[in-house]
Amino acid sequence: MYLVTWPLRVYLAWSALSAVYFAGVLIVPFATWMRPVVPHADVYTSCALGGLCVVIAGLVRVRMANKLASLAPLLVVLFTVFVLFGAIFILAFSEYYAVLSVPYERAQLEKIEAGVVGEFYYDRGYLTDTNSDCSMVTWRERERLSAFEDAHCAKQGKAYCNAFSLRKTLFQPLIFDNKTEHERIAALLQTSSFFGVTIDDHTTLSQFCASVAPSVLTSEPSLDVACDGCRALVAAPEDTSSLGNWVYEHCPLTTVDPMASYCIMSASAKLYPYLLTYPEAKRCRRSILRLNLVNRVLICFGEKFDAALQSYTDAMAYVAVVLAGLAFVLFFWVSVAQMKRDAIDADDELMLEAMLNARASQQ
């Protein structure tokens, strides 16, 4: 009988490494901020869970089987895990990230802050735009960005209302319907009395909203939604999510930019009557509105957030391909060992048959 000691030892080592890998793919997203934003997280989780079960089943087989048992079940394990590793590698390596667009976005933000903007920059306000064409939207990237932006607004959005000047906050695009309305409000903001409320460079949006007459908000629906959004942001409980903490640590809010428009306006329940009623169009149009504007949150998303995700998925892909390569080599090694064992078994059977025939003839 041919004993396959070394192939089994290598198989056990490979199984241990594979089990650690699959366990890591399962645990890391759930233990960190990554779970809601890792592309195809459910697919990775399913592959890792299936791979872990198959590897454990193979280890149980090795532990319980005798030394002379067939190696065919181990070949099934190796092939199955090879396929799962391949699926993880292909999916992780094919992900698109926005890291390469960061230099362009930085240049655009510099132009915006220098006042070099086109007419379109102030058009398509939240209360007037009716665009719902999703044909050009790449949903995987948008969903990841949506989670990131929402975490930013939940963690830091109330600062737009309480920490920054009203003159800077309401100067951001898309709060008002178009460029004409924006210029009208911008001119009023430079005076000492804004819709009957005395203001200066230190007056915040929350302070204005607490003092302005209700009749003003009735006649100025954009201001009404902005004030309602601020009240909602300030009243919301403190965000303690791991994703929010990551955003706060790596993308701190230091100044007002177009992201203020999205955080403030989207927080208001009064905004939704202006949106289409069915969920897909609502989600699509909100994405289109906010993604047309360059801001620091978008830059941080590409520069730090997507870079961190890319490092994670790249590591997952590279380790998967190494373990898949080992599985491929081990598959053939175990196959050769099994064929040698089968050949020796056949010789043993012939020898045993000859011995039995010889004994029978002697009798």
Tens of pLDDT, residues 91-102: 888 776 655 577
Residue 190 CB contacts under 8 Å (≥ 6 apart), including other chains? 167
> Using CA atoms, how far apart are residues 20 and 48, in angstroms rounded to an integer?
10
Q: Tell me, what's the pLDDT at 344?
A: 46
The answer to whether residue 276 scores a pLDDT higher than 70 is: no
Nearest by Cα to 155 from 68, 268, 243, 286: 243
Q: Measure the N-to-C terminal CA separation of the chain; round to a whole number of Å.
A: 29
Lowest pLDDT segment from 104-113, 202-211, 258-267, 285-294: 285-294
The answer to whether residue 114 scores a pLDDT higher than 50 is: yes
Q: Give per-residue pLDDT as tens, 161-172.
A: 999 999 999 998
Average pLDDT of the chain to the nearest whole number? 81
Q: Tell me, what's the pLDDT at 294?
A: 79
> Using CA atoms, how far apart are residues 153 and 248, in angstroms rounded to an integer?
10
Q: Give per-residue pLDDT as tens, 212-264.
A: 999 999 999 999 999 999 999 999 998 988 889 999 999 999 999 888 988 99
Residue 342: band (very low, low, confident or very high) from pLDDT cuts 50, 70, 90: low
Write b or e for each residue in 329-359: b if 16 or more Cβ atoms lie within 10 A of its Cβ, otherwise e. ebbebbbebbeebeeeeeeeeeeeeeeeeee
Residue 283 CB contacts under 8 Å (≥ 6 apart), including other chains? 146
Rounded to an integer, the average pLDDT of 317-323 is 93
Q: Distances from the Cα of 104 to the Cαs of 124, 136, 265, 303, in angstroms?
A: 23, 20, 27, 12
The answer to whether residue 341 scores a pLDDT higher than 70 is: no
Which sign, positive or negative, has the C-alpha torsion 272, 276, 278, 280?
Answer: negative
The answer to whether residue 160 scores a pLDDT higher than 60 is: yes
> Using CA atoms, how far apart are residues 331 and 81, in angstroms rounded to an integer?
11
- Residues 149/262, Cβ–Cβ less than 8 Å: yes
Q: Tell me, what's the pLDDT at 288?
A: 60
Q: Tell me, what's the pLDDT at 295?
A: 85
Alpha helices in 32-138 (DSSP H): 41-64, 72-93, 102-113
Nearest by Cα to 247 from 234, 259, 258, 261: 259
Residue 23: band (very low, low, confident or very high) from pLDDT cuts 50, 70, 90: very high
DSSP conformation class of 303: I
> Using CA atoms, how far apart are residues 339 and 336, in angstroms rounded to an integer?
5
Rounded to an integer, the average pLDDT of 282-293 is 60
The answer to whether residue 31 scores a pLDDT higher than 50 is: yes
Our separate counts of H helices and E strands in the chain read: 16, 2
Q: Tell me, what's the pLDDT at 362?
A: 59
Q: Tell me, what's the pLDDT at 343?
A: 46
- Mean pLDDT is highest, among 40-44, 73-77, 124-128, 352-356, for 73-77
> Using CA atoms, how far apart are residues 320 and 84, in angstroms rounded to an integer?
9
C-alpha Rg value of the chain to the nearest Å:
31
Q: Give per-residue pLDDT as tens, 184-200.
A: 999 999 999 999 999 99
- Residues 100/306, Cβ–Cβ less than 8 Å: no
Question: What global pTM score does this model have?
Answer: 0.72
E strands, the chain, in order: 193-194, 197-198
State phi, psi for 193 to the nearest 5 degrees: -130, 115
Q: What is the largest CA-CA distance in the chain?
A: 124
Rounded to an integer, the average pLDDT of 154-178 is 92
Q: Tell me, what's the pLDDT at 97?
A: 60
Nearest by Cα to 172 from 159, 163, 185, 162: 185
- Residues 278/238, Cβ–Cβ less than 8 Å: no
The answer to whether residue 338 scores a pLDDT higher than 60 is: yes
Q: Tell me, what's the pLDDT at 2?
A: 40
Q: Tell me, what's the pLDDT at 345?
A: 46
Lowest pLDDT segment from 131-140, 143-152, 160-169, 189-198: 131-140
> Using CA atoms, how far apart are residues 330 and 62, in angstroms rounded to an integer?
15
Q: Tell me, what's the pLDDT at 16?
A: 93
The pLDDT > 70 percentage for the chain reads 77
> Using CA atoms, how far apart are residues 45 and 26, in angstroms rounded to an integer?
6
Rounded to an integer, the average pLDDT of 47-70 is 81
| DSSP 3-state of 356 | helix
- Residues 156/247, Cβ–Cβ less than 8 Å: yes
The pair of structure tokens assigned to 30 is 């759930």
Nearest by Cα to 300 from 109, 64, 85, 72: 109
